[in-house]
Every structure is written in C-alpha cells, then in structure tokens.
Amino acid sequence: MDRKWLRGVSVSRGPLVQTGPMGDDRLEGLRSQLEGIAEELAGIGYDKLKEAIETGDGAAAAEERRLGRARRSVLKAAALLASGSDE
C-alpha cells in the first residue's frame, strides 16, 4: 500500500470508497487534518501577536500577519473539500 506522510499522520492512497457525505472518507480525514493545521497556525499566530505586543517587535507582527494568511488559505482548502466544488 502506497503511503504518504503528512505531519506524522499516514494518508493512504488506496481506491476510492463511496461512504461519506463527500463520497470519500479519505477526503473527510484530509479536511479534518487541514482544520487541525489551521488551529495550530492560529495558536502560533496568537503567540507571535502576543510577542509583538510585549516587545514592540515589528518582525513578530509581520510574522503573525503571514501566519494569518496561511491559516485562511488552509481553511479555504478545507471548505473546498467539504463542499466538493471545483472552483
């Protein structure tokens, strides 16, 4: 079985199984992982924002904005998987 590793979680690349609301439990699992990654990015971004406020570090503030953009992109990918659209 071909396996791909993403953040320590094995993702199987087997045949499609029509079982979940999206037609594939693997897509639901991937969507869930993306939402988890978005939460992690939010936590790191919060820490960077807190650091920027405490130290007045402009670089930390810029890093927080970059992490926010990444989080929004990950959430958009998760939403696309949930809706099943090809936008």
- Please tell me whether the overall predicted TM-score, pTM, comes out greater than 0.85 for this model: no
Question: Domain for residue 9, yes or no?
Answer: no
Question: Domain for residue 56, yes or no?
Answer: yes
Judge whether residue 17 has pLDDT over 50: no
What pLDDT sits at residue 86?
54
Question: Domain for residue 11, yes or no?
Answer: no
Listing DSSP states for 17-76 in one string gives ---STTS-HHHHHHHHHHHHHHHHHHHHHHHHHHHHHHH--HHHHHHHHHHHHHHHHHHH
Confidence class for position 9, pLDDT limits 50, 70, 90: very low
Question: Domain for residue 8, yes or no?
Answer: no
Q: Which residue has the tokens 């897509």?
A: 27
Q: What digits encode the pLDDT tens for the residues 29-68?
A: 999 999 999 999 999 999 999 989 999 988 988 999 999 9
Range(s) of the domain holding residue 39: 24-82
Domain count, the chain: 1
